[in-house]
Every structure is written in C-alpha cells, then in structure tokens.
C-alpha cells in the first residue's frame, strides 16, 4: 500500500462520521488504540517492505523513511485543509453578511427595484472626496468581487492540492464541506447582485439594447471571469500551503534547519503576507 493509498483509506473511514466532532469523540473513546497516524505509517511501511524484499538494508531503510514522511505529509495536509477551510468559511460568511447589510444601507428596496428596471442610477456618496466621482456603490462592488475572488482562490488551491496529493479525492469532512458550500453560495449570490447592478447601469446609459436581448437576471450572470482572475492567487496559495505542511513534516521528523529554511523563504519574500492570509 502506498502512502497515498493508506491516507485515502483512512480518509474514507474518517469522512463516514457526520462531523469532525463525532470523529474526535470516536478516537477519544479508544484511548489505548493506535493513533490514526501510527496506523497509516505502519500500513505504508508494510507496503514498502513487501515491495523491497531482498533489497539491501540501506535501500530498505531509505524507502521506509520516505514512506513515513510522505504519509505524514498527506495526513497533515488533510488536517490543514480542513482547519483552513473551516476558518475561511467562517470569515468569508461573516464578510458576505456584512456586505449584504452594506447593500441594504446603500439603497432602499425601491432603489434596488429601480436599478433592476434600468430606471435609476445609484446615488453618489457626497462624502467620497478621496476617490473623485467613484460612488459608494463602486466601492461596495469592489469589496464583493474581491470576496468572491478570495473564495475561488481558496477553493481552487484546495482542489489543486487534492489532485496532486490525494488522487483528486475531497479532503473535507462532512460538516466542513457543508460550511464551505454555504459560504461560497453566499459570496456567489452577492457577486451576482453586484454584476447585475453594473449591467443594469450600463444598459440604462445606452440606447443600443434590443428588445430581443434576454432580460437581466441573477441566473444570467456568469462568474467564470472572477474565477479566472483568481487563478494566480490560487496557484500561490496552493504552493504556500504545500510548503507549510512540508515544513511541519520536516519539523516533526527532526529536520529543524530544513523546516526553518522553508518558512524563512516566505517570511523574506514580498508575497509572504499574501500567502499567510
């Protein structure tokens, strides 16, 4: 059994529990049982012994060490992805709720209806001296699109790591996945509102719209461009998470200098703050 196969077998067992809390309780109920990580490393190393039978001792020991580290890395990666996804879902959900409230503060229900009917322009913010004629609506829209871009970057980074290290299997426990889906749907919904308002304003300023054009609606708004723009951030995020888990793996293996060098590279780089977010 390879390290990936061992971790995937454990992951299937763990994901059968309805929540991370229930899984933790199950582990706590058997305090004398081997830990999941011990079992995983043992399974991976058994596979190595079977595959290297008759090989020189030095080669066997190197393969056993490599299998243990690859297993540990994947186990820690699953834990990291669940913790990060849970925390980001909580924060993005709070931000989405705040932006919904901001939208309501910027316009009454009547103004929203008028904007959707291409009958009115959003009001300008009289206190917006620093940004010229940019309105509060423009700033709100930027925040909304940045929110969804961040959500897509986080999700696509996780998907890339799952493809690379977990054969494409989802790493999330059931409750974490549910929380994430709710947060993403909130961000997508408010982003569609923002893009719909922008399209309505654009249509109200031109005479080129034909009666044959389909009516504007939330369902007609595509979000693919936002996801495409988040691709670079997603790639950086995936690289960052993999390196931080790699550093943790080395630290646990006693290679403190190598672990520290990975962390230091991000601390000294211009992009360190963005990757650590």
Instruction: Give the pLDDT of residue 271.
Output: 46
Which residues, 6+ apart, have CB-to-CB distance to 37 below 8 Å? 71, 72, 75
At 226-238, the pLDDT tens digits run: 999 999 999 999 9
The predicted-structure confidence for 195-223, as pLDDT tens digits, reads as follows: 887 777 665 555 555 555 555 555 556 88
- Note the pLDDT of residue 216: 52
> What is the pLDDT at residue 116?
63
The 10s digit of each residue's pLDDT in 80-135 is 999 999 999 999 999 999 999 988 887 665 555 565 665 445 555 444 444 433 58
Confidence grade of residue 276 (pLDDT, cut at 50, 70, 90): very low
Query: Are residues 135 and 122 in contact, defined by beta-carbon separation less than 8 angstroms?
Result: yes
From residue 73, alpha-carbon distances to 70, 247, 249 in Å are 5, 9, 6
pLDDT of residue 131: 46
Block residue for tokens 């006693």: 254
Each residue's pLDDT tens digit, 35-92: 888 888 888 888 888 877 777 888 888 888 899 999 999 999 999 999 999 999 999 9
pLDDT at 24 over 80: yes
Kindly state the percentage of the chain with pLDDT values over 90.
Answer: 52
Provide the pLDDT for residue 219.
56
Between 19 and 158, the more confident residue is: 158
Query: Which pLDDT band holds residue 267 (cuts at 50, 70, 90)?
Result: confident
CA distances for 135 relative to 6, 90, 117, 145, 194, angstroms: 55, 29, 20, 16, 13
More confident call, 134 vs 20: 20
For position 38, what pLDDT does the model report?
A: 87
Query: Where along the chain do its domains lie?
Result: 3-276
Higher pLDDT, 148 or 266: 148
Which tens digits make up the pLDDT trace of 135-163? 888 889 999 999 999 999 999 999 999 99
36 close to 10: Cβ distance less than 8 angstroms: yes
Q: Are 183 and 155 contacting, i.e. CB atoms less than 8 angstroms apart? A: no
Q: What is the pLDDT of residue 237?
A: 97
């Amino acid at each position: 059994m390879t390290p990936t196969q061992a971790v995937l077998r454990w992951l299937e067992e763990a994901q059968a529990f309805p929540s991370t809390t229930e899984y933790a309780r199950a582990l706590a109920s058997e305090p004398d049982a081997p830990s999941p990580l011990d079992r995983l490393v043992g399974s991976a190393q058994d596979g190595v012994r079977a595959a290297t039978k008759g090989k020189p001792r030095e080669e066997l020991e190197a393969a056993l060490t490599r299998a243990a580290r690859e297993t540990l890395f994947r186990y820690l990666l699953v834990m990291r992805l669940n913790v990060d996804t849970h925390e980001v879902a909580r924060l993005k959900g709070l931000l989405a709720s705040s932006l919904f409230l901001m939208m309501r503060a910027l316009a009454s229900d009547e103004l929203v209806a008028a904007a959707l009917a291409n009958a009115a322009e959003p009001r300008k913010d009289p206190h917006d001296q620093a940004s010229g004629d940019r309105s509060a609506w423009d700033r709100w829209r930027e925040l909304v699109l940045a929110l969804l871009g961040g959500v897509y970057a986080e999700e696509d980074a996780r998907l890339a790591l799952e493809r690379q290290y977990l054969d494409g299997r989802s790493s999330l426990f059931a409750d974490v996945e549910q929380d994430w889906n709710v947060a993403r749907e909130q961000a997508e919904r408010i982003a569609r509102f923002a893009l719909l308002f922008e399209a309505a304003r654009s249509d109200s300023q031109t005479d080129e719209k034909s009666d044959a054009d389909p009516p504007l609606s939330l369902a007609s708004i595509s979000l693919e461009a936002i996801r495409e723009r988040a691709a670079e951030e997603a790639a950086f995020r995936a690289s960052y998470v993999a390196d931080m888990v790699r550093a943790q793996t080395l630290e646990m293996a006693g290679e403190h200098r190598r672990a520290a060098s990975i962390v230091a590279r991000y601390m000294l780089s211009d992009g360190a703050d963005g990757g650590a977010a």
